[in-house]
Structure formats: structure tokens, C-alpha cells
Amino acid sequence: MQKKNEKKSRLYTYQKVILTHFITLSMCALILYPIMYKILNYPPGTVDTQFQIDYGGLTYSSQFLILYVFVTGFLLLYQRFFLFKKIANWEKCDGVNSKYTVEEIRETLLTAPTKFYLLQIIIPFIAITIGLGMPIVKHEVESSGITVAILWVSIFAFNATISYVFSKNLFKSILIKTFKSNQLPGKHTKLSNDMMLLLLPLLIAGLFFTVIVSYSRLMKVRGDDIYHYYKNELNYVFNEGISYSEDEVVDKLDNLNILNTTDTYFIIDDEKNITTSNGVPLTDFFKKYIFELSDQYDGRVYEHYAVNTQGYIKHINVEGKPYIVGIHYPIYGGDSLLYIITTFIVLFGIISFLLWYYSSSLSNQIKIIVNGLNEINTKNNEKFEKIPIVSNDELGELTVAFNKIQDLTKRNIEQIHNSQESLMERERLASLGQLIGGIAHNLKTPIMSISGAAEGLSDLVKEYDSSIEDPEVNSQDHHEIAKDMSTWIAKIKTHTEYMSDVITAVKGQAVTLANEEDITFTVGELIKRVDILMKHELKNAIVYLNIAMKTDENTIISGDVNSLVQVINNMISNSIQAYKGKTEQNIELIVEKENNNLVISIKDYAGGIPKHVKDKLFKEMVTTKGKNGTGLGLYMSYSNIRAHFNGTITVDSEDGKGTTFKIILPI
């Protein structure tokens, strides 16, 4: 029950990532909500009021909430059901019975933060495009459109960067769990590209936000100045309590000192008919603001949400009727905006180049160290080049550490070479000692036989000598004595030839590695040497070597016969030892031809090799003999077969049954 409750309360990594993204998106929304309309200089009295509902149908808060839910909901749902589908599947079953391989999951973990990072910049723009009809983003095609875009880019680029950093950090736990020693990092990406991807949006966000705030304040100050100017002008031209004729009003407005040629005046009569100096009608928003809100803000009028066009109105008396006169003026300042944008582009270009140059330099320095490590991993010599130290920061410390590793690696290689030579010599001496024990036994029998033959010949010599003057000994007796002597001589010759073969075999195995040379020999000669040298060990263990010659004994092999004999003998010895003292056991030595290869199989029935040992055979110096083994036998055997015969060795072992080693030699 406790485990079940723990599983229910468990928060998976992908859920932590989604929660983190939700929090960062919400925090950005909370920051953006109270400042957006202020930065965009929304008209006072039009935010979350009845005025906004009457004009746009939705309040600022409602519109903002809709966009927030759309953007956040889409991003999080896409993240959960598409981007993190593999991760969620893996974590929920703790890696067991997963639909996806570990490699697929790791690839998703490595690429998901970047994909989601890009989505967080693209999706908000789509949301803005969809919501163009909302006053929160509705604008004329002028500076306000650029202002809205800049604000959204800044906020979401900043949020995307935060999400990227947190995602990378949270995914490390799964990457660590799924790591295997032989795994590669996946599709290669440049560090400089990652740095540009991460830092450029921050740079853009910072510069954009600075531009938009600066431009917003500039427009506010400029708007205040123009407003006060036209307020003073109209108050000076039109006095309170005086009734004017329509012609006087038009004449005064025509002679008004205007600041820009784009500034126009307008007249609204008592029936709300509007006349403009340039003939262009006023917008509905502007008219609505005049009639409903302008009096609350001392005659100041605004064109629209996020549109930098304003106006000023004054109530006057025209022939006893209430009229309104006003000035409609843009304040966006095209030249100012162009100057700011040009400055931004130039500054952005310079900073981007410097950032790219520095990140590339940093990436190249790391790459030099990586290449150096790869050289340590692949070079067979000790001629490692040290990396020059070019900085006094962490990279400089890394370079120093790398150079120290090179020195240490060089010393270790020297020690390994010395130790390897020592171990190989030790293994060779051990084999030689075992060989000498076999020699003593192998030579003992023929020597005893030769000694017996010598005694027999000695008796025949004495018998022949005493019969020389014996008249009863005839020629037939002499022939019989000669025949007996010939028999003993033939036995001596056979035993001496056997001794010669033993000495030849022993001499071949006792030579040093430096004297090894490739020669040609037959399969028959090979098996004869093996049989001679292993006879004593097999006899002592009471284990039988069954030789099955399934190919022509005269088949020619080219290579170092002594090395091949040593390899076969080592495998037979391993099979003997695998029986762990059990007697009356069998080892099969099978020689056959397959395609263009000679295959020599050594098969035992001793129960097989453990899997963890089998996986390391021929690759590492492993042994199952404890302190009695060095692990060099098979390691050296494989090296010898590769070096002297361009062949290979395979192993097939079945737990509880036995093991078969196959020496495959091209012929």
C-alpha cells in the first residue's frame, strides 16, 4: 500500500518540465499583463471599462486571458502529447516494457528543449495573427504594429530562454539513468550554434524591450508636448463666453499655427456632424472617445489602442449653439522611429557578430581539447602534442588539466608496456615450466626403452662373441643373432626419432617471441606437435583428446607454427582445467575445411563459460582461474592468430553443456 501511494504521489520528470514551463509562462503573463497597456500607451479610460466592451466586445483582461490560455494551452498540450510522449511512456513504466528504445528516448531528451524553445517564439506570433481583431493587438499599419510585435517578441523570447535552461537541467536525470558506456551523444550540434540560439533571443529581447520602452516614453513626452501646445493655441484663439460665427471659426482654425502639415482640424456642430480640414473622416474610436471620455481628461482625445495619434478638443459657442473644435495630430514621429530602428539594427548586427565570433572561438578551443582526447584514445604511439594555454579562465584550467592527463597517459602507457612484457614473459615461463614437466615424462619412456635395447644388444654381443669358436654354432645361428640385433637397433631408431620429434617441438615452443617467423607447414605436422606436447598433461588429468581429421593432412598452412601450436595447446589446457579435476572426460579436436578457411575446433563438455566472462574474451585479460591465471592466454592467442595468420577465433558456449573454440585460418 505504501509503494502504491508513493507511485501515485510521484512526480515524473516530464511532469516537472511541463509544470516548470507552465510557471514560467504564467510569470511572463503576470509581468506582461499590468505593463503592456502602459508601455503601448493605451488611451486612459479604455482598459477594462464599459467603453472597451461597447467598442470591442471584450475587455483587456478577457482578451489577454484568451491569448494566454490559447498560447499556454497549445504549448503544454503539444509538449505533453507529442514532444514528451516517449519520455512519459518510459518513465511511467520505469524503463520496463516501454514502446520506445532507449536511443529514441535519449534523442527526444536531447532535442526536445530546442524544439519547444522555437515553438514558444513561433506560436505567440500565430496567436497574434489569429487575434488581430482584438483591441489588445488591433492596430493601424504604422509604428504601433511594430511596437506590439516588439513587445511580444521580447516577452516570449525571454520566457523561451528560461524554459530552455530549466528543461535541459531537468532532463539530465533521465539522461543519466539511460546512459550506457558505449553510447554516443546522438546527432552532433555545434556549441557555438547552441550559444547563439540561447543568447541571441535574450539579446533581441533586451534590445527590443529597451527600444520599445524608450520609444514609448518618447511618444508619451512628445504627445504631452503637442497636447499642451494645441491646448494653449485653441484656448488663446477661442475665448470662453464669446459666440462665434461659423465663418469666424473656420477662419481662426485656418490661421492656426500648426506644428506639422499632417496635423488637421475638425469641427463638430450641435447635431454631431463632423467636418475635417482634409476631408478625411474621423475614426469611430476617436469620435466615441470625444463624446464619452474627453471631458474627463481635459479635452485630450486618443485615436486607438496602441496608435500614436491623438487630438485636443475645445467646446465653443457658435451662434448660440454648442460646437466642438479640435486638432487631430499624429505623434509617432517617423524620423525618430526610423532612427531608433536603424540604430537597433546596427547595434544588433555588431553584437551578434561579436557573440558569434566569441562563441565560435570558445567552441574551437573546446574542439581542440576534444581532438586531443580522441588522439589519446586512438594513437598507438606516445607522441602526444600539448595544447597551448591561450586564456586564464576555466578553459585555461581545462587545457592545463588536459596537458597533465597527457603526461599521465604517457607514463601509464609506458608502465602498461613494461607490465605487459612482464606478464607475457611470466605466462611464457609458466607455459615453459609446464612444458618441461611434460618433456621429462615424454622422454622417460623412450630412454628406458633405449636402455633396454642397449642391454639386449649387449647380451647378443656377448652371445655372439662366445659363439665365434663354438663348432656347434652354424651359419643359421649367426643369422638369427644378426636378426635379433637388427630388431633392437630398429627399436632404438624409433625411440630416437620420437625423442627428436619431442625436442623439435619443445625447441619451437621455447624460442623467444623475437625469433618467431612465418613458414609453411602441413596440418599433419601441426597436429603431431600438439599431440606430442599435450600427451603428458592429458595423461595426468586422465582426459582423452579425440582427434578428428576431416581434411587432407597435407594441407599447407603459412604462418608461425610455434604460435599456432601454443594457441591450440592453451585451449586444450583450458578445457582440461574446465573439468575441475573430473577424470575420464573427453575433448574433441576437429580439423576441417570450410570454404577457403581451415577451421580447428576445440570442444569440451565442462559446463560452459559465464556470460560476463564470455563477453570480455579476446578483448580484455580475464580469467576464471583466480590467482592461478593471468588472463593472458586467450588474449595473447587471439592476438597471435590475427598477427601471424590473419585469422580469428570464435567461441560458442552453452551454459550447463560445454564450450567450443574455433580457430579460423584463411588458406
CA atoms within 13 A on the CB side of 418: 6
Q: Which residues contact 564 (CB under 8 A, 6 or more apart)?
A: 526, 557, 640, 641, 644, 645, 663, 665
> What is the reported pLDDT for 616?
67
pLDDT above 70: residue 432: no
Residue of 578, 589, 542, 570 whose CA lies nearest to 434? 570
What is the rounded CA–CA span in Å between residue 35 and residue 88?
Answer: 37
Considering only the top CATH level, what class is 518-667?
alpha beta
> What is the reported pLDDT for 463?
75
pLDDT tens digits for range 46-84: 888 888 888 877 888 887 888 788 878 877 787 777 766
pLDDT above 50: residue 590: yes
Higher-confidence position of 289 and 391: 289
Q: Which DSSP string corresponds to 76-110?
A: HHHIIIIISHHHHHHHHTTTSS-SS-HHHHHHHHH
pLDDT tens digits for range 102-112: 677 777 777 77
Span 30-47, average pLDDT? 83
> What is the reported pLDDT for 621?
47
> What is the reported pLDDT for 629?
40
What is the rounded CA–CA span in Å between residue 609 and residue 656?
Answer: 9
pLDDT above 50: residue 624: no
Paired with 597 in beta bridges are: 594, 666
- Strand order across the 658-666 sheet: 543-549, 585-594, 597-604, 658-666, 648-654
pLDDT tens digits for range 381-406: 455 667 676 566 666 676 777 677 77
- Percentage with pLDDT > 90 across the chain: 18
> What is the reported pLDDT for 317?
92
Q: What value does the mean pLDDT of the chain take?
A: 75
> What is the reported pLDDT for 190?
60
pLDDT above 70: residue 423: no
> What is the reported pLDDT for 8?
41
What is the rounded CA–CA span in Å between residue 114 and residue 128?
Answer: 22
What is the rounded CA–CA span in Å between residue 369 and residue 366?
Answer: 5
> What is the reported pLDDT for 98?
58
Range in 16-25, 404-413, 418-427 the model is least confident about: 418-427
**Domain parsing of the chain, residue ranges:** 2-188, 223-337, 518-667
Range in 306-320, 354-368, 416-430 the model is least confident about: 416-430
Residue 370 identity: V
423, burial (CB in 10 Å: exposed 0-12, middle 13-18, buried 19+): middle
pLDDT above 80: residue 576: yes
What is the rounded CA–CA span in Å between residue 124 and residue 29?
Answer: 12
User: Whole-prediction pTM value?
Assistant: 0.51
Range in 137-151, 155-169, 566-580 the model is least confident about: 137-151
Q: What is the CATH number of domain 223-337?
A: 3.30.450
pLDDT tens digits for range 545-556: 999 999 999 999
> What is the reported pLDDT for 505?
61
Higher-confidence position of 374 and 246: 246
pLDDT tens digits for range 81-95: 776 666 666 665 555
